Amino acid sequence: MKALAAANDLQRRESCWSHCFVKNLIDFGFKGSIYPINPSADEIRGIKAYKSILECPGPVDVVHMVIPAKFVPQAVEDCGRKGVKHIIINSGGFGETGAEGAAIEKDFLERAGRYGIRILGPNCQGVINTDPGIRAYCNFTFTKPDPGFISIVALSGGVAEVVHQAFAQMGVGTRIYASNGNAVDVTIPEIMRYLGEDEGTRVIVTYVEGLRDPANFMQAAAAVAAKKPILAMKAGRTREGAKAAASHTGGLAKEDIATDLIFKKAGVLSFRDEGHLIQAAAAFGSQPIPKGNRVGIITNTGGPAVIATDVLVGAGCTLPPLSDKTRALLKEKLYPEASIGNPVDVLATGTAQHYRVCMDAMMEDESFDCVFVNFVTPFFVDNESIAREIVAVNQQRRKPIVCNLMTDKQQWSEVVRILREGGVPCFPLPGEAARAMAALVQYHAIRSREASPIQLFADVKPEKAKKLIAEARATGRTQLDAAEVYGVLDAYKIPVAKWRLAASPAEAAQAAAKIGFPVVLKADAASVVHKSDTGGVALNLASASAVKAAAAEMKRAIAAPDLRFFVQKFLPTGLELIMGAKAEEGLGHAVVFGLGGIYVEVMQDVVFNLTPVSAAEAREMLDAIQAAPLLSGVRGKKGVNRDRLVEILQRLSQLLTDLPQIQEMDLNPVMAFADKAFVVDARISLKESA
């Protein structure tokens, strides 16, 4: 960036805006030329001002524009004539204010389009770039960051600034900060891709409230996250007033889960707490990515190491024992009273040399992927020397280090300074440091995820399923009837228990005989949602007379005019699972898998994933539920055929991809056995409009 022009509305806010922007640029050490543009000032902060951009002597790379909305279209036009290609518009008063503002927005966008100008904003905070060769501060907030490796991108300037300020307070530098407000042109995914390419950015931090173009975000995030970590936080989770969904799947997804699923699928690390996100980012900004989850702990005090251990193990890290070689070395070099295990306790009297020996040994020891340092600053040791040794090892960048620094920052300011300048991520609490380390490990796990292509089965009959759906629509229904539901499942070869429909108790008995006893009788009527709740399920009927009697009783209990009888093969007791789906705007479907049956809402042991689901993702879903051990078999009980379930999930995913009209789908239960699995209850509803 060679030159930057700052236009402003002098009449209204001379004292603040114009001077402020120019001052910000100068104070931040901007490396290019600055041309203030102002209709009625000759100079601003000692720099010659121009009446119009067209009068600027040199070429202008970026215009930072802060003028009332109504002047923006003409100013953009002038920029176009000058050959400017990039404009940051801080001003508000556009689409966010209503129709009039939206019209102005449309106007300047058209003009920008004609000249090939890219716009960041409007109604945004702008950009900061700390690159020593640029030093641009095109922003109106107060944080003046030191150069670092963390880049921040967010629509919301407020949150971006909070995050930015938190880094500054931790003494952690940042690289590029972009907050694009109304985002009428340059989007978050586009900025993310740019940061993905930017060599100076090691980690990207983003904050979202909702995603405008979820599919685009997911694509960009997936591409970037494969190269460098993206740490994200989603706010606005609770879905107030979400109407109670008729199916289990809808009811189980109480929160706005779509964004989380996007994060997961794209490999973005998702945070629920901005503090945790900031702490993790600080670690990513300075540390290499570990090659595994094995942590070695060095401490000079007991308790905090215990807290750290709990957090690390809880987050999936392991604390392996020291190798024999490390153990022997430390026995020789540390105090005889030191505890030589993992954690290694060098004792409060432990010296800089003790720390150094331990750290070197753990860097060398193949048993460890990361090193966690607990450092309390006792007055009787040379804490500055300890800090220097930690820094020296840190600068080798062999394995990631985080440090839980327990100190009085005023009294030990030199220690703090040494560690800070040495790029050691320090946290005052052991849990904080441990969570930051766990995030590094988690990113490694994401990166090592098994790549698995989406499998498409050739034996499916999409046309048959589409026809059934079209027929239901033609009758004005959004709820498929039993024949349609099972027809759709059949078209995708999703195995179902044998079934027949009957209009009367007598027909039901005949149907049962054809299927073969024992059977199950179920009420089939539009008004009956959860059949067991209303006496609509009669299990294990072994004879024609039992079927007839159950049907007569059902007819009495459920006085629905459209009542029919769904007769189904009774299956021996298996493991009851749920599979299902729910449409997600702009994304396809969220697929659910978990422990099923009539208590599914009570257990809430389910996981979600977005379509399309690969075999590896399906396996991951199976492993992710609490009850996962039941699938493999426990206490002498046989497990179920996992491969079969993985296949059914993939077939379900294919079905959903082919049939975007489906709103919700519920296969509950899917009865799973050691060899096979069958759907015994299914519901499908369609979107209101095709």
Stretch that binds ligand ADP, among 93-101, 194-202, 253-261, 524-532 (CB under 6 A): 524-532
Burial class (CB in 10 A: 0-12, 13-18, 19+), 485: buried
Cα angle value 31/34/40 (rounded, 5°)? 165
Question: If binding is defined by CB under 6 A, does position 486 make contact with ligand ADP?
Answer: no
Nearer to Mg ion (CB atom), residue 338 or residue 682: 682
Residue 502 pairs with which residues in a beta bridge?
565
Partner whose binding site includes residue 531, from ligand ADP, Mg ion, none (CB under 5 to 8 Å by kind): ligand ADP
Query: Residue holding tokens 């298996």?
Result: 574
Question: If binding is defined by CB under 5 A, does position 179 make contact with Mg ion?
Answer: no
Distances (CA, A) of 244 to 240, 249, 408, 534, 598: 11, 11, 52, 19, 17
Question: If binding is defined by CB under 6 A, does position 38 make contact with ligand ADP?
Answer: no
Cα angle value 529/535/538 (rounded, 5°)? 105
Partner whose binding site includes residue 597, from ligand ADP, Mg ion, none (CB under 5 to 8 Å by kind): ligand ADP
Shortest gap between Cβ of 576 and Mg ion (angstroms)? Answer: 9
Nearer to Mg ion (CB atom), residue 15 or residue 573: 573
Instruction: Provide the b/e sequence for 196-225 (b: ≥16 CB within 10 Å).
Output: bebeebbbbbbbbeebeebeebbebbeebb
Shortest gap between Cβ of 203 and ligand ADP (angstroms)? Answer: 46
Question: If binding is defined by CB under 5 A, does position 681 make contact with Mg ion?
Answer: yes
Question: If binding is defined by CB under 6 A, does position 664 make contact with ligand ADP?
Answer: no
Question: If binding is defined by CB under 5 A, does position 309 make contact with Mg ion?
Answer: no
Closest CA to 28 of 105, 167, 143: 143
Residues 6+ apart with CB under 8 A from 97: none
Contact residue for Mg ion among 123, 249, 668, 685 (CB under 5 A): 668
Shortest gap between Cβ of 597 and Mg ion (angstroms)? Answer: 7
Counting residues that bind ligand ADP (by CB under 6 A) gives: 19
Question: If binding is defined by CB under 6 A, does position 86 make contact with ligand ADP?
Answer: no
Burial class (CB in 10 A: 0-12, 13-18, 19+), 636: exposed
Closest CA to 561 of 505, 480, 503: 503
Query: Residue holding tokens 């989380």?
Result: 260
First-to-final CA distance of the chain: 50
Residue 587 dihedral angles phi and psi, to the nearest 5°: -140, -5
Nearest-angstrom CA–CA distance, 219 and 205:
17
Stretch that binds ligand ADP, among 196-204, 221-229, 259-267, 532-540 (CB under 6 A): 532-540
Helix (H) or strand (E) holding 264: helix 258-266
Contact residue for ligand ADP among 522, 564, 582, 589 (CB under 6 A): 522
Partner whose binding site includes residue 520, from Mg ion, ligand ADP, none (CB under 5 to 8 Å by kind): ligand ADP
Nearer to Mg ion (CB atom), residue 228 or residue 582: 582
Stretch that binds ligand ADP, among 217-225, 530-538, 642-650, 653-661 (CB under 6 A): 530-538
Shortest gap between Cβ of 521 and ligand ADP (angstroms)? Answer: 10
Question: If binding is defined by CB under 6 A, does position 21 make contact with ligand ADP?
Answer: no
Question: If binding is defined by CB under 6 A, does position 32 make contact with ligand ADP?
Answer: no
Please provide the DSSP assignment of 500-557 as one string: EEESSHHHHHHHHHHH-SSEEEEEE-TT-SSGGGGT-EEEEE-SHHHHHHHHHHHHHH
> Which string of x and - marks every residue 540-579 that binds ligand ADP (by CB under 6 A)?
----------------------------xxxx----x---
Shortest gap between Cβ of 185 and ligand ADP (angstroms)? Answer: 50
Residue showing the smallest CB distance to Mg ion in the complex:
681
Partner whose binding site includes residue 568, from Mg ion, ligand ADP, none (CB under 5 to 8 Å by kind): ligand ADP
Question: If binding is defined by CB under 6 A, does position 497 make contact with ligand ADP?
Answer: yes
Shortest gap between Cβ of 654 and ligand ADP (angstroms)? Answer: 24
Nearer to ligand ADP (CB atom), residue 572 or residue 636: 572
Strands 136-139 and 564-569: unpaired
- What three-state secondary structure class fits 230? strand
Which 576-615 residues touch ligand ADP, going by CB under 6 A? 576, 597-598
Shortest gap between Cβ of 497 and ligand ADP (angstroms)? Answer: 5
Nearer to ligand ADP (CB atom), residue 54 or residue 529: 529
Closest CA to 189 of 204, 203, 176: 204
Shortest gap between Cβ of 523 and ligand ADP (angstroms)? Answer: 9
Query: Residue holding tokens 């927005």?
Result: 105
Helix (H) or strand (E) holding 569: strand 564-569
Which 400-419 residues touch Mg ion, going by CB under 5 A? none
Query: Residue holding tokens 């051990």?
Result: 629
Stretch that binds Mg ion, among 133-141, 322-330, 563-571, 662-670 (CB under 5 A): 662-670
Shortest gap between Cβ of 681 and Mg ion (angstroms)? Answer: 4
Distances (CA, A) of 247 to 531, 579, 645: 12, 11, 21
Q: Which residues bind Mg ion (CB under 5 A)?
A: 668, 681
